[in-house]
Amino acid sequence: MGAVLCGAVVWCWVLVSVLVRGVGAGCWCGSVREMAKVLVFHFTEEGRLPKLSDEERKEIMNRFYEVLKEYPDVRFNGTYVDENGMGICDWEAPNAEVVREIVEKALGKPPVDPVIVVKRVL
């Protein structure tokens, strides 16, 4: 009975972790790495995101998803821009260097604007 209950508790914990954190958000077994909030800025003329068609957006996201398979602990939370392409990409990763590496692999060049680790203060 105890082993069955323990197995059920572990399964529920895994399911809740996936639902709350997302698939690929981190490994629940062994050691758990601390993730940082990493922001990639897009504010200079060269760094701003161009207007993209739906197909271009899908192609870029597919390249990122392929690269992210190599980084199971990293989570991409989204890109947020204004009408001029100025904005941020929001990540959870061990550090800023890992995000730079992912962007370079996916896009063929490193980010132009800063990539920084931030901490919540409010």
Tens-digit pLDDT profile for residues 80-118 = 999 999 999 999 999 999 999 999 999 999 999 999 999
Residue ranges of the domains in the chain? 1-26, 33-118
Task: Give the count of alpha carbons within 13 A of 56, CB side only.
Answer: 6
Question: What is the model's pTM?
Answer: 0.72
User: What would the CATH number be for the domain defined by 33-118?
Assistant: 3.30.70.3090
Token pair of 110, please?
A: 């490193």
**18 vs 28: CA distance, rounded Å:** 10
Please report which confidence band the pLDDT of residue 31 belongs to, taking 50, 70 and 90 as the band edges.
low
pLDDT digits (tens, 9 = 90+) for 56-90: 999 999 999 999 999 999 999 999 999 999 999 99
